[in-house]
C-alpha cells in the first residue's frame, strides 16, 4: 500500500510547515502594458514585482539600452509559456534590436533584464 509502512502502520509528519516555509502565490509576468505591485517580504521588506511588462533593459557589447519587447519566441523551460507570451528567466524574446535572452526573474523584480544573442549565421 502506498503511504504506509510494511507493517501496515501510517507514516506521520514530524511537524506542520511554518508560515515562512509555505509556498507563495505564483506570479505570471505577461507581455503587455507595464503593471507592477508592491509585495511584503520578511523583515518588513517591500519589493515591487511585475505583473506585465512591455520593455526590457538589453545589454549589447557592454552598453545597456531600453527597448520594447515584440514577442516571446521560445522558452526552454516550458514551450507553452512562449505561446502565452509569459516572461520568465531564460526566455528568448524578440526586441527592436533583435533576439535577446532574459537574464533576471521578472516575477521577483519589477523590471526585465536581457542580453543580446549573437547571430550564428
Q: What is the pLDDT of residue 51?
A: 92
In degrees, to the nearest 5, what angle opens at C-alpha 25 toward C-alphas 72 and 104? 40
pTM for the whole structure: 0.78
Is residue 53 within 8 A of residue 77, CB to CB? The reply is no
Mean pLDDT of 70-89: 94
Burial of residue 5, with CB atoms counted within 10 A of its CB: 0-12 exposed, 13-18 middle, 19 or more buried: exposed
Q: What is the pLDDT of residue 1?
A: 65
Whole-number average pLDDT of the chain? 90
CATH number for 30-116: choose from 3.40.250.10, 3.30.230.10, 3.10.290.70, 3.40.190.10: 3.10.290.70
Residue ranges per structural domain of the chain:
30-116
Q: For the segment 26-74, what is each residue's pLDDT rounded down to a tens digit?
A: 889 999 999 989 988 888 999 888 899 999 999 998 999 999 999 999 9
Max CA pair span of the chain:
66
Amino acid at each position: 500500500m502506498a503511504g504506509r509502512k510494511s507493517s501496515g502502520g501510517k507514516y506521520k509528519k514530524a511537524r506542520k510547515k511554518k508560515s515562512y516555509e509555505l509556498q507563495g502565490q505564483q506570479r505570471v509576468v505577461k507581455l503587455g502594458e507595464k503593471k507592477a505591485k508592491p509585495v511584503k517580504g520578511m523583515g518588513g521588506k517591500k519589493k515591487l514585482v511585475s505583473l506585465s511588462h512591455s520593455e526590457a533593459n538589453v545589454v549589447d557589447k557592454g552598453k545597456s539600452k531600453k527597448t520594447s519587447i515584440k514577442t516571446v519566441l521560445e522558452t526552454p523551460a516550458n514551450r507553452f509559456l512562449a505561446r502565452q507570451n509569459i516572461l520568465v528567466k531564460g526566455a528568448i524574446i524578440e526586441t527592436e534590436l533583435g533576439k535577446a535572452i532574459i537574464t533576471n526573474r521578472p516575477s521577483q523584480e519589477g523590471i526585465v533584464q536581457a542580453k543580446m544573442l549573437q547571430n550564428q549565421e
